[in-house]
Amino acid sequence: MSVWAILVAAGRGERLGSDQPKAFAKLGELPLLAEPLRRLDDSEWIDAVVVVAPPGWEEPAILLAEEIGAGKVRASVPGGETRTDSVRAGLAEVPEDAAVVLVHDAARPLVTDAVVERVLAPLSEGWDGVVPGLPVSDTVKRVGSDGAVEETVSREGLWAVQTPQAFPVATLRRAVQSGADATDCSGLVAAAGGRVKVVPGDPLLLKITTAADLARVASLL
């Protein structure tokens, strides 16, 4: 069974306040992209990797892969306007005979082999997708644009989901071709009628949005 990983790194990252796209902002000595790329490349569960780079940054992404010795990278392609467009571009590089695809946000650099294993394992039970998640522990409010609390939402059964997310390749292909949009791939698969399972995520799979997030993740390297 061959497992391909798509590393989506084409976000502009405007909230980071960097001149460069988020994937090429410095995390320690190297661009942020290097950390999740090295970790996916090192994973014993992953056979091949496709990088979805910010448009115009496909070549620097390949050079970075060479610099860190990420030998499983098969392609570096430009991303699209939305995350879903970027996933679609990455999937186009995954061959027909691949069985499973794992989609991971480059913005979550601290991916581990343990979480990769946790999302891959239940696919053999027939799930259409498996995602890592953490139960929401904060109290959740719906807030209006004027800052007024409109509702306290029960957190019973609420989970915050992360990446990497795993799917049978054909299932994700059908979901991205449906024309729907979502902020994660499991949303696309669920909208197409798929059954998605949540497994325990990892609190260290922090998503880098701001410069403070970047500093926090750098301190955890």
Which parts of this chain interact with ligand C5P (CB under 6 A)?
Answer: 8-11, 22-23, 52, 79-83, 86, 105-107, 183
In DSSP notation, 180-203 reads ---SSHHHHHHHTT--EEEEE--T
CB of 124 to ligand C5P, least distance (A): 27
Rounded distance between C-alpha atoms, residue 187 and residue 143, angstroms? 23
Q: Is-contact 5 50, C-beta < 8 A?
A: yes
What token pair was written down for 175?
A: 């979901």
Cβ-closest residue to ligand C5P? 11
Q: Which is nearer to ligand C5P, 121 or 218 (CB)?
A: 218
CB of 131 to ligand C5P, least distance (A): 14
CB of 107 to ligand C5P, least distance (A): 4
DSSP designation for 154: P
CB of 126 to ligand C5P, least distance (A): 28
Q: Which is nearer to ligand C5P, 2 or 82 (CB)?
A: 82
Burial class (CB in 10 A: 0-12, 13-18, 19+), 55: middle
Q: Which is nearer to ligand C5P, 24 or 127 (CB)?
A: 24
What token pair was written down for 64?
A: 């970075």
Q: Which is nearer to ligand C5P, 1 or 102 (CB)?
A: 102
What token pair was written down for 37?
A: 């790329």
